């Protein structure tokens, strides 16, 4: 179905119904790609379906202030170098913050998911490499996931071994996903140079993907067991499965007011060419936004 039609599809238990546009507002940032992988960062206006291309790259984040972070190609070839880049709210990219040597999105994903801090001073991103002291691979070699924090000039401020997929809380604390070297789990560093502490009460025993903190900082959404889950970021550590799709969830984002989600779904080995918007517990709110390309996460909604 043509995405420019003046109605959207809403999935219901009884089939497919039509709804007038304007149910959701704001812009979802995601990566546009093909069967090979993501290629460019785009904004999708969920009220008008207008699509705007922003950067060459992938693994995008757009913060509430409008600043962006992403990974982009800086070297030629199938295994050419890539780099972590941050751009200001005008869309002007800065110099590379970190070079990802011999990068390949499908087989050598050595850096990923950069995130600009709420105050804009720091950027956290994930990487894979050696040189650690704790984590070893299947061959007994020191090899680990890391979360690295740098300032906007590229100076490394902190490095956390055995963690991946950073996500900033609104108050400036840094949330990370523990690798199996750390026993999985959800971890938070109260200070960028402090030691992370586990906050999931030991419930998250395999590493989830694509963490997204709610706008008020009280809940975490994550892709776990192929669906979207949330966890309260308080002493209760309350886990809730949000979606029950017949396809796997690839990534999710909170709406700016924290009442809805945008997700992309995967059908076996490729993403479904659509973004799905919904409010938890309201089946009639589920809106499918068809796309002419394969979408890749992470997603941001502002």
In a domain, 14, yes or no: no
Is residue 61 one of the residues assigned to a domain? Answer: yes
Closest residue by Cα to residue 275 from 105, 67, 43, 53:
43
Neighbours of 96 (CB within 10 A): 17
Which distant-in-sequence residues (6+ apart) come within 8 Å of 171 by Cβ?
118, 217
170 pLDDT band (50/70/90 cuts)?
Answer: very high
What does DSSP assign to residue 245?
-
Cα–Cα distance for residue pair 167/164, rounded to 1 Å: 9
Residue 132 lies in a domain: yes
Percent of residues, the chain, with pLDDT higher than 70: 93
Selected residue with higher pLDDT from 23 and 297: 297
DSSP structure string for 23-78? SS-SEEEEEEE-SS-EEEEEEEETTT--EEEEEE-EEEEE-TTS-EEEEEE-S-ST
Quote the radius of gyration of the chain (alpha carbons, Å).
19
pLDDT of residue 243: 97
Residue 89, domain member (yes or no):
yes
Farthest CA pair distance, the chain = 58
Using 50, 70 and 90 to split pLDDT, how confident is the model at 194? confident
pLDDT in tens, 16-48: 333 444 489 999 999 999 999 999 999 999 999
Q: Indicate if the pLDDT at residue 110 is higher than 50.
A: yes
Of 202 and 8, the one with more pLDDT: 202
Q: Helix, strand, coil shares of the chain as percentages rounded to 5?
A: 0, 55, 45
166 found inside a domain? yes
Provide the pLDDT confidence category of residue 4 given band limits of 50, 70 and 90: very low
Domain limits for position 146: 27-301
User: Using omega within 30 degrees of 0 as the cis cutoff, is the peptide bond preceding 298 cis?
Assistant: yes
Q: 202-245: per-residue pLDDT in tens?
A: 999 999 999 999 999 999 999 999 999 999 999 999 999 999 99
Q: Note the pLDDT tens digit of each residue in 55-105.
A: 999 999 999 999 999 999 999 998 999 999 999 999 999 999 999 999 999
Residue 10 covered by a domain: no
pLDDT interval class at 191 (50, 70, 90) = confident
Residue 239 placed within a domain: yes
| pLDDT per residue as tens digits for the range 243-276 | 999 999 999 999 999 999 999 999 989 999 999 9
Residue 14 has pLDDT above 70, yes or no: no
100, part of any domain: yes
> Which CATH number belongs to the domain containing residue 180 in this structure?
2.120.10.30
Mean pLDDT rounded to a whole number for the chain: 92
Quote the pLDDT of residue 119. 96
Structure tokens at 69: 């972070």
**Among candidate residues 123, 124, 164, 125, the one with its CA nearest the CA of residue 144:** 164
Q: What per-residue confidence (pLDDT) applies to 242?
A: 98
CA dist 244 → 30, 74, 146, 165, 173 (Å): 22, 39, 31, 24, 31
Strands 186-189, 197-198: pairing kind:
antiparallel
- DSSP sequence for 102-128: T-BTTTB--EEEEEE-TTSSEEEEEEE
Evaluate if pTM is beyond 0.85.
Answer: yes
Q: In total, how many domains does the chain have?
A: 1
Q: Which pLDDT score is estimated for 250?
A: 98
Q: What pLDDT sits at residue 3?
A: 34
Quick check: 15 pLDDT over 60?
no
- The dihedral built from the CA positions of residue 266, 271, 274 and 277, taken in this order, carries a sign that is positive
Q: 2 CB contacts (<8 Å, ≥6 apart)?
A: 290
- The 10 Å CB-count burial string (b at 16+, else e) for 154-165 is beeebebbbbbb
């Amino acid at each position: 179905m043509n995405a420019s039609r003046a109605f959207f599809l809403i999935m219901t238990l009884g089939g497919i119904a039509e709804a007038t546009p304007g149910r959701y507002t704001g812009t979802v940032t995601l990566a546009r790609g093909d069967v090979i992988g993501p290629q460019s960062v785009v904004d999708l206006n969920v009220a008008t379906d207008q699509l705007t291309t922003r950067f060459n790259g992938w693994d995008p984040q757009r913060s509430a202030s409008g600043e962006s972070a992403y990974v982009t190609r800086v070297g030629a070839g199938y295994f050419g170098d890539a780099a972590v880049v941050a751009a200001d709210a005008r869309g002007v990219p800065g110099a590379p913050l970190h070079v990802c040597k011999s990068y390949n999105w499908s087989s050598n994903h050595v850096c990923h998911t950069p995130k600009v801090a709420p105050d804009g001073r720091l950027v956290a991103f994930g990487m894979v490499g050696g040189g650690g002291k704790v984590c070893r691979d299947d061959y007994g070699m020191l090899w680990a996931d890391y979360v690295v924090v740098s300032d906007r000039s590229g100076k490394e401020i902190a490095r956390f071994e055995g963690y991946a997929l950073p996500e900033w809380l609104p108050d400036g604390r840094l949330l990370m996903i523990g690798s199996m070297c750390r026993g999985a789990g959800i971890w938070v560093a109260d200070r960028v140079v402090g030691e992370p502490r586990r906050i999931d009460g030991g419930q998250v025993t395999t590493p989830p993907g694509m963490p997204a903190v709610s706008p008020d900082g009280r809940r975490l959404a994550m892709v776990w067991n192929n669906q979207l889950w949330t966890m309260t970021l308080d002493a209760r550590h309350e886990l809730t499965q949000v979606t029950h799709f017949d396809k796997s969830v690839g990534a999710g984002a909170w709406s700016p007011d924290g009442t809805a989600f945008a997700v992309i779904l995967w059908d076996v080995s490729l993403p479904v060419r659509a973004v799905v918007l919904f409010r938890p517990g309201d089946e009639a709110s589920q809106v499918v936004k068809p796309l002419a390309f394969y979408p890749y996460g992470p997603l941001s909604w502002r």
